[in-house]
């Protein structure tokens, strides 16, 4: 298989207020997957953006190092919510509720699950094929229509773990656009959903 040259992908929320670049993207430097988990589905619902999941409730995600992301416009509209205390940090553009990506709620593990809805141009071959479709048990609709995995979920997880370790060794967690470079604190406080808000999304 020939190597696909790195590309700088233009990222943008639906209304164009928040813009970013994902630098040097290739299928090898990240992990392309679809997540059907109920939390990812709840996030889309919390944003009122049912359109960002597919017919089976899947979220198309490209996991890469946070250091590859650079916001070029509208950073003040970048916010995050948590479905529960200590939950995954789910970043979005508050201007038009476009999901951006998922990270851990603290600095240290420099991966971000970039959500395809924030990639405004046709990404072409840059992201590569979907390696695996995970948390299938939460899929909705015609689940028989979901394609088989290109590689096993475990192969995907091990490969991703190796990538994350290499990013950490490189110090990428200190070059994240989501956390302050000096203090490591998130750009701003999160909004944590209440139990009743969360229940309403299930």
Q: Contact residues for Zn ion (CB under 5 A)?
A: 13, 15, 17, 35, 37, 40, 93, 95-96
Task: Report the alpha-carbon distance of residue 66 to residue 47 in Å, rounded.
Answer: 22
Nearest approach, Cβ of residue 117 and Zn ion (Å): 11
Contact assessment for residue 59 and residue 52, using Cβ atoms and an 8 Å cutoff: yes
Nearer to Zn ion, 25 or 35 (CB): 35
Nearest approach, Cβ of residue 170 and Zn ion (Å): 26
Position of tokens 């070029």? 72
Nearer to Zn ion, 45 or 175 (CB): 45
Nearer to Zn ion, 74 or 128 (CB): 74
Nearest approach, Cβ of residue 75 and Zn ion (Å): 12
Nearest approach, Cβ of residue 123 and Zn ion (Å): 19
Nearer to Zn ion, 35 or 52 (CB): 35
Nearer to Zn ion, 2 or 60 (CB): 60
Nearest approach, Cβ of residue 135 and Zn ion (Å): 6
């Amino acid at each position: 298989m020939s190597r696909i040259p790195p590309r700088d992908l233009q990222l943008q929320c639906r209304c164009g207020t928040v813009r970013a670049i994902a630098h040097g993207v290739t299928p090898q430097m990240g992990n392309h997957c679809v997540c059907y988990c109920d939390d990812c589905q709840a996030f889309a619902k919390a944003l009122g953006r049912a359109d960002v999941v597919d017919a089976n409730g899947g979220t198309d995600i490209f996991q890469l190092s946070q250091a590859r992301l650079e916001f070029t416009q509208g950073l003040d509209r970048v916010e995050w919510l948590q479905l529960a205390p200590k939950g995954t940090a789910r970043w979005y553009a508050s201007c038009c509720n476009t999901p951006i990506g998922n990270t851990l709620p603290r600095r240290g593990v420099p991966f971000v699950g970039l959500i395809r809805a924030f990639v405004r141009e046709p990404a072409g071959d840059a992201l590569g094929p979907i390696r695996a479709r995970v948390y299938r048990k939460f899929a909705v609709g015609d689940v028989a229509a979901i394609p088989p995995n290109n590689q096993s979920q475990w192969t995907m997880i091990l490969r991703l773990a190796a990538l994350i370790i290499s990013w950490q060794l490189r110090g990428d967690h200190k070059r994240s656009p989501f956390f302050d470079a000096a203090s490591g604190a998130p750009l701003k406080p999160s909004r944590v959903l209440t139990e009743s808000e969360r229940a309403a999304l299930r």
